[in-house]
Amino acid sequence: MASQQSIITLRVRGYHLDGYGHVNNARYLEFLEEGRWAYFDEHAELAGILHGGSVAFVAVNLNIDYRRAAVAGEDLRVITALADVGTRSARMHQEVRRVRDDKLVSSADLTFVLLDTRHDKAVPIEGELRDVMERLVVE
């Protein structure tokens, strides 16, 4: 059985840096997205329920707090977990931490909805999907 959270490790490369020598703020969006992809890879039961392609997870809000700089050569750990499931949206919480000392580099909360791609509208989170998602919530 998969863990309730997903943890990946990324190395900061030169192309992640801005003119000041630390990770550009926009690159954290990519790090966080990579963490979410890994989360869904590790929780195939979510994708299995949505099999058929007519419903998609769609981000509607993202809030990021930047705590400290990360620089080239550092390894970062991206931790992703489902934090809350509502009736029409859910929230994932993510943290980016330095591997060497576990210091928090940034944290983020992403709200997403289930989008009916045929009708281009959000649908309720219910049934088997809701049951699976509620079991994955980390307080």
Kindly list the catalytic residues.
18
Alpha-carbon distance 65 to 108, whole Å?
A: 6
CA distance 38 to 35: 5
Q: In 27-113, which ranges are continuous DSSP H helix?
A: 27-42, 44-49
* Closest alpha carbon to 112 in 37, 38, 29, 56: 56
